[in-house]
Amino acid sequence: MTEDKAAPVSGSLMVVGGGISGLTTALEAAEVGYEVFLVEKNPYLGGRVAQLNQYFPKLCPPTCGLEINFRRIKDNPRVKVFTLGEVEKVEGIPGNYDVTLTLSPRYVNENCVACNDCVEVCPVERDNEFNFNMDTTKAIYRPFDMAFPMKYAIDSAVCKGSQCAQCVDACQYEAIELGMESKSINLKVGAIVWSTGWTPYDAAKIDNLGFGQYPNIITNMMMERLAAINGPTNGKIIRPSDDKTPESIAFVQCAGSRDENHLPYCSYICCMASLKQATYVREQYPDAKVYIFYIDVRAPGQRYEKFYKKIKADENVFLIKGKVAEVNEDPDTQNITVVAENAVTGEKIRQTVEMVVLATGMQPNASDAALPADLKVNPDGFIINDFEKGGMFAAGCANKPADVVSSNQNATGMALKAIHTLVRK
C-alpha cells in the first residue's frame, strides 16, 4: 500500500463553492450520512443561479429550486455552512487533508432578523454588484431578497465603522458588531469537491462590441437582472440611457466566445440563454422585434431543440446567421446599429435597434486566481478531474461550462467520488 492509497483518516468532506453544484454535492453526501463543510466566499449561497430570472426551458423562477435546497440544508445538521469563507491552504493526501479556512467578518451576528432598521439609517451608498452595478445598496445590506442565510452584511470597504455606527443604535437585537474580526480555522476532511463556478466574461475586453462605451449595450447577465422582479428595475426591461421601453433588441451571440482572443471555447448555455431572454422581451412587449445574430445555434438535446423551434416560429423573432463585426451608436437617439455579414446570403446587414444584449460566456473562477491546492487546470482554467489520484474533484462549471441540469448531474457524481475516498479501506 503506497502512502497515497492509505486508509482514510477523516470521514468528513468539504465542498468549496455554494452555487447550485456545491449545494447539490453537499446535500447528496449529507443525506446519506456524511458530515460536510460547505465553504462559500459570498455572504449568501446560491451562486450565479440566484441572479437568474427564469430557467430555460421551463421558464420557472430558479428561486423555487434554491428554496428547496436551502430548506434541506437548514434541516440537515450534517451540513456546516461557512459563508464569507475561503480556503487558505490544503495539505495532506486523499482521505486525510488538513484545510485552513479564512472567515471574513460579516459584522452582523446570529441575532439579525432582517428587519431592515439598519438600512434605513445607514448614510453610505455602494454599487450593487449583485445587480451588476445597475443600482446601489447601503453599506449594510441584504444581498438579495431571498438571500440564505437571511442575514445582512456590511461592506467594510465603504462602511465608516465606529465613526458612524448609526446602524448599531438602530438595531434592537444587538446584531451588529463593528469590531468583528476575521478568523482562521483548521478542519480535517477526507475529500474536497471544488464547485467554484464561473464569472461572466468581461465584455469591456471585446473592443468591437461597444460595451462600456454605449449605455444601451448590456450583457446577458445584466438582462437577467433587468428582467427579474427583484432586480434594479423591478423586472421592467428598459434601456439604460433613458429608461425607454425598447421596441427592438438585438442579441449578439458568441460575444467573445469561440474566439482565440477571448474565450476559445463555447460556453454551452448562451444560445439557450438568449432564446430564453427573447421570451422575456416578447412577454413584456408583444410588438417588440428581436434580432438574434449567431454563428450557429446550439440547443442540444430534445427539450432544448423543442424550445429553440418554438422561439424560431415567433414572427417577431428574427434569427440571422452572421457574426457581428461592429456596432455603432447614433449619438442623437442612442440607438445602436449592428453590422454583420449574413453567412447564408453573403449580404452585409446593418440592423438598427434600441438596445443590444451581448451573449458573453462563462469564465471559470479557477482561471482568475489559482486555488490553494494541488489541482490540474486546463488551458482555459477549468479544473481537470484526476480520478486516478482522487481525493479532490471538480463539480459543475468549475469543471466545464454547463447548464443547471448537467451541473447537478455532475455534482451528484462528484459526491459519490468523494464518498468513495472516505470509505476506501
Residues that bind ligand FAD (CB under 6 A): 16-22, 39-42, 47-49, 52, 55-56, 86, 195-198, 220-221, 224, 269, 273, 276, 362, 365, 396-397, 402-405, 407
If the CB atoms of residues 49 and 178 are measured against ligand FAD, the closer one turns out to be 49
Shortest CA distance to 191 belongs to which of 101, 100, 92? 92
- Min dist. Cβ of residue 192 to ligand FAD (A): 11
- Min dist. Cβ of residue 76 to ligand FAD (A): 19
Shortest CA distance to 294 belongs to which of 329, 235, 251, 328? 251
| Residue ranges with strand state E in 104-204 | 125-127, 136-138, 140-141, 153-154, 183-189, 191-194, 198-200
Location of C-alpha cell 449578439: 252
- Min dist. Cβ of residue 390 to ligand FAD (A): 21
- Min dist. Cβ of residue 197 to ligand FAD (A): 2
- Min dist. Cβ of residue 24 to ligand FAD (A): 8
Location of C-alpha cell 442575514: 151
What is the total residue count of the chain?
425
Q: How far apart are CA 54 and CA 22, in angstroms?
A: 20
If the CB atoms of residues 58 and 425 are measured against ligand FAD, the closer one turns out to be 58
If the CB atoms of residues 175 and 249 are measured against ligand FAD, the closer one turns out to be 249
- Min dist. Cβ of residue 403 to ligand FAD (A): 3
- Min dist. Cβ of residue 357 to ligand FAD (A): 9
Q: How far apart are CA 107 and CA 179, in angstroms?
A: 7
Give the CA distances from residue 268 to residues 89, 397, 403, in Å, rounded to whole numbers and listed in that order: 32, 11, 7
Provide DSSP, 333-385. Answer: T--EEEEEE-TTT--EEEEEESEEEEEE-EEEGGGTS--SS--EE-TTSPEE-
- Min dist. Cβ of residue 407 to ligand FAD (A): 4
If the CB atoms of residues 4 and 129 are measured against ligand FAD, the closer one turns out to be 129
- Min dist. Cβ of residue 348 to ligand FAD (A): 28
If the CB atoms of residues 28 and 224 are measured against ligand FAD, the closer one turns out to be 224
If the CB atoms of residues 339 and 405 are measured against ligand FAD, the closer one turns out to be 405
Query: Cα Rg for the chain, rounded, in angstroms?
Result: 23
If the CB atoms of residues 212 and 300 are measured against ligand FAD, the closer one turns out to be 300
If the CB atoms of residues 48 and 289 are measured against ligand FAD, the closer one turns out to be 48
If the CB atoms of residues 98 and 117 are measured against ligand FAD, the closer one turns out to be 98
Question: How many other β-carbons are positioned within 10 Å of the β-carbon of residue 22?
Answer: 30
C-alpha cell at 48: 450565479
- Min dist. Cβ of residue 40 to ligand FAD (A): 5
List 55's β-bridge partners, or say none.
60
If the CB atoms of residues 50 and 175 are measured against ligand FAD, the closer one turns out to be 50
Burial of 168 (0-12, 13-18, 19+ CB in 10 A): middle
Burial of 265 (0-12, 13-18, 19+ CB in 10 A): middle
Pairing between β-strand 376-377 and β-strand 153-154 as defined by DSSP bridges: unpaired
- 342: which residues sit within 8 A by CB, 6+ positions away? 320, 321, 322, 348, 349
